[in-house]
Amino acid sequence: MTGVVSYLVFFACVVLILGIVTLGLNLQWGFTGLFNAGVAGFYAIGAFTHAILTAAPQPQYLGNFGLPWIVGVVAAMAATAAAAWLVGVLTIRLRGDYLAIASFGIAVSIQLVTLNWEALTGGSQGITRIPKPLAGVFDTPLAFNLWYLALLAAIVGALYVALERIVRSPWGRVLRAIREDEAAAIALGKSARRYRLEAFVLGSTMMGLAGALYASFIGFVSAFDFLPIVTFQVWAMLIVGGSGNNRGALLGTFVVWGIWTASGALVTKLVPPTYAAQGAAVQVILIGLLLVLTLLFRPQGLIGEEAVVSRHAKD
């Protein structure tokens, strides 16, 4: 029984970490209409910045400064924000598919840099010895995961409240105006470019934060953590949950990651071990099927967007 609890706590931690990424993408795509296909890249910058700053020193690496956890988290957000601003300035005038291709290319480049810049990122060896916060106090796996879950819940809760306020604020309404009709928004005197850049940087910073939280949860990062499939997963989470709705983003993360992992457990229960390879293929089909069915029957996502968010308009 404790085993099941222990697993569910671990699962919930992963959901909340990925949930932060999905919330970030929701701000970019759901509210502003920015097609960011480079999610994994910003996630990677956050994770590696954190790892490089906080990991225990090792002679063969340039980084690994052994700094405190909170320094790593703040720096990860700062580094991701800086990177997103740079990328944003260069690409933000690109729309739709063009931005998607550019950001996808950037994410792949970032992943390749992390794979090859051995002295800094450990290359294909990855960075080990990333300290887990307060691991000395919570010294069993379950105790540590429970503490980390509480920490993550607090962070996600704070982010959710902040995002809900932001999207209901005048600033948030401008984002939606730009998404719906950019020309009209500009005609009303709003600088679409500035708002788009701000939303892009803010959303990416959240991805960087999630990367840092992931690195210190697992205790190990390598370039293999940031393959393009991660971007795809986060997109699936947002679309299934309901793009343009923060609760939808979180629900989608839970549902998609739940399907992804539970299908694996289910397949091993149903399929005899000699057919494990075939069973694994069935699992992949199952994941795809469930995603397609959700989109067919709930095209707006499990929780759709609220049409009216302004409290003035509601009155």
Partner 1 sequence: MVATPRKSVAFAVAAVGLLCAGTTSAQVACPVKIGGVLPLTGSMAPITKKIAQAAELAIEHINQGGGIKGCPVQFILRDDQGQPTVGVDAAKYLVEVERVAAFTGTISSGITGPIISSVTAPSRVVQITCCSTASAFTLDGRSGGYFFRTIPTSKTQAYATATETARRGFKRTAVIYVNTDFGTDMLRFYRQAVAKLGGDIVVEVPYNDNQPSYRAEVTRALAAKPESLLLIGFPKDAVTIVREWLSLGGPRQVALNNSMRTMDFVNGVGARFVEDFFGMDNAQVAGPHVDAFNRLFEEKYKADTKGPGIHTQYDAVMVLGLAMNIAKDLTGPSIRDAVRQVHAPNGTVVGTGPAEFRKALELIRAGRPIKYHGATGPIEFDANGDVTGPALVWRITNGQIVTDRVISIEEMQALFKRIDG
Of the residues 34, 106, 206, 223, which one makes contact with partner 1 according to CB under 8 A: 223
Q: Is 11 in the site for partner 1 (CB under 8 A)?
A: yes
Please list every residue from 84 through 113 that binds partner 1, using CB under 8 A: none
Of the residues 137, 183, 187, 229, which one makes contact with partner 1 according to CB under 8 A: 229
Least Å from the CB of residue 124 to partner 1: 4
Please list every residue from 144 through 183 that binds partner 1, using CB under 8 A: 144
Distances (CA, A) of 173 to 295, 306, 307: 27, 12, 11
Distances (CA, A) of 155 to 95, 146, 203, 244, 288: 32, 14, 15, 20, 31
Of the residues 90, 165, 180, 224, which one makes contact with partner 1 according to CB under 8 A: 224
Stretch of residues binding partner 1 (CB under 8 A), selected from 138-146, 152-160, 246-254, 292-300: 138-146
Q: Is 219 in the site for partner 1 (CB under 8 A)?
A: yes
Q: Is 138 in the site for partner 1 (CB under 8 A)?
A: no
Binding pattern for the stretch 239-278 against partner 1, x by CB under 8 A and - elsewhere: ---------------------xx--xx--x----xx-xx-
Burial 132-156 (b: 16+ CB within 10 A, else e): bbebeebeeeeebbbbbbebbeebb
Q: Is 65 in the site for partner 1 (CB under 8 A)?
A: no
Q: Is 217 in the site for partner 1 (CB under 8 A)?
A: yes
With CB under 8 A as the rule, give the number of residues binding partner 1: 48
Place of tokens 């499939």: 229
Least Å from the CB of residue 2 to partner 1: 8
Q: Is 141 in the site for partner 1 (CB under 8 A)?
A: yes
Q: Which is nearer to partner 1, 7 or 85 (CB)?
A: 7
Least Å from the CB of residue 207 to partner 1: 15
Stretch of residues binding partner 1 (CB under 8 A), selected from 22-30, 211-219, 238-246, 247-255: 211-219
Q: Is 123 in the site for partner 1 (CB under 8 A)?
A: yes
State the Cα–Cα distance between residues 14 and 80, nearest whole angstrom: 20
Q: Is 3 in the site for partner 1 (CB under 8 A)?
A: yes
Residues lying near partner 1 in the complex (CB under 8 A) are found at 3-4, 6-7, 10-11, 14, 58, 60, 116, 118, 122-126, 128-130, 140-141, 144, 217-225, 227, 229-230, 260-261, 264-265, 268, 273-274, 276-277, 279-281, 283-284
